[in-house]
Structure 1
Amino acid sequence: DAFNISEGTLPSIEATVSDNRLVTSLQLPAGFSIDETTTLGKVSSSLVGCNASLRYGDKLSILYLMQVRPQREVTFYMPHAELKLYEFVLEGDSRIPFYTLVDERLFRAKNGCVCTDEQVGEGAVGYVHSRKTKRCTEYSTQSLVLLPGTVLCRTYSSIEKSYEAAASYGAKERLKAESGKLKVKSGDLKKDKVTEERGIAKEPVKAGRVRKLKKKGKKKVNKNGKKREKRIRGKP
């Protein structure tokens, strides 16, 4: 399951489910690991050295849509999602501790790839690559991908739940009423087509009235004509 979040010309960062992790297409050196002492410069040089699409100065953004479930059942405290954003620019000489910039659960190194932690929880993650140029900012086409343990989102985004939600607002009755109106209109249109093909007028009463009006108009013209003739004859 994926939800589009950006479109652009830069190569996409793919993310696939493997066991209980999301594994990305971002490559790292074999045996490379990240801990609390690893600097941004070290991570940046490793990413640029292993991925042809990355350059120094590029930015990587991690969007984490975290699923929140209330521990206590409270009527006004419903399950919801919170969006968190982590960003860092690839700088080879930076000494900033990397995990002060990024949630460590979303950027692990395993088997030469960037991946999520097994204990990241429910939600969705997306990795976006961007680059500033003189004309504009370029982006990679990316999607939010559901984490392996996400159950609530899959359940409530199903078609069945959509129908249930629509029915709770009375949408079913409205749809029936509207469909009934459409059927009546379509029936009238069919009748009109048949009458037109047979050469029958749609409204014979109105047509009759038009004919009467035409006749009245003709009579008035004839009377005026006769009066003019009489006047001409009466002249010496």
Structure 2
Amino acid sequence: MQNLEGKVAIVTGGGSGIGRATSLLFAQQGARVVVADISLENAQATVAQIAEFCGEAIAVKVDVRSDADCQRMVEQTLERFGQLDIAFNNAGIGGYPHLTADYGVENWQRVIDINLTGVFNCMVHELKAMEAGGKGGAIVNTASIMGLKGTISGSAYCASKHGVIGLTKASALEAGRHGIRINAVCPGYIETPMTTTGDDLVADKLIQAELRRAAIRRMAKPQEVAELVAWLSSDKASFVSGSAYTVDGGVTAG
């Protein structure tokens, strides 16, 4: 189904994982996509996959910690496609598995800068473009189930994702008068480089313990999160704003 026909979408962190899956799904549903990532090579690889089924996309190198990068990303979108209808602010990192007292201010600041300030930097320029366009829009931010609860050795990550949910709700109240909807998705444990390429035995044991208590006892595929993002970005979700949706197989149900 071409639910996003005629739309233009930005996806940050589009070079892998949930971002790549969402970029592909957006294009399959008819959107023209700006694939933004700190790795231009990874972004270009996503664009190449989109081109395989004749979708239209461009790759942009973006470090979301940089306000100038985020501004340039939106400017390039408008220069190439003339509009911005959808933004999926998904770029993020997993943080460092240390207790709060041992975390260190540099590690803390890096997680907050990427996961929370990065979303803010993107939204500032996306909102201005959507407001100027006068046709509304949809923004989806990637939070986490750790934005809804706590976890040992994850204070910075939890704080950043709680912040994304707060930012989403506050901004949704502001943007509604412009016809812009803003929501967040809260993934659980997804098969992405963030969860499958580390060597942290403690974190792996915690994940496996949580999955044993879940309703659906497995990790999700990135595509399963992308489907929710695409729905929230489409006109089918026209009365949905200011919400945070879990997609976690029931991890947080118990």
Give me the TM-score of the superposition, normalised by structure 2: 0.25
More strand by share: 1
Give me the TM-score of the superposition, normalised by structure 1: 0.26
Structure ID, larger Rg: 1
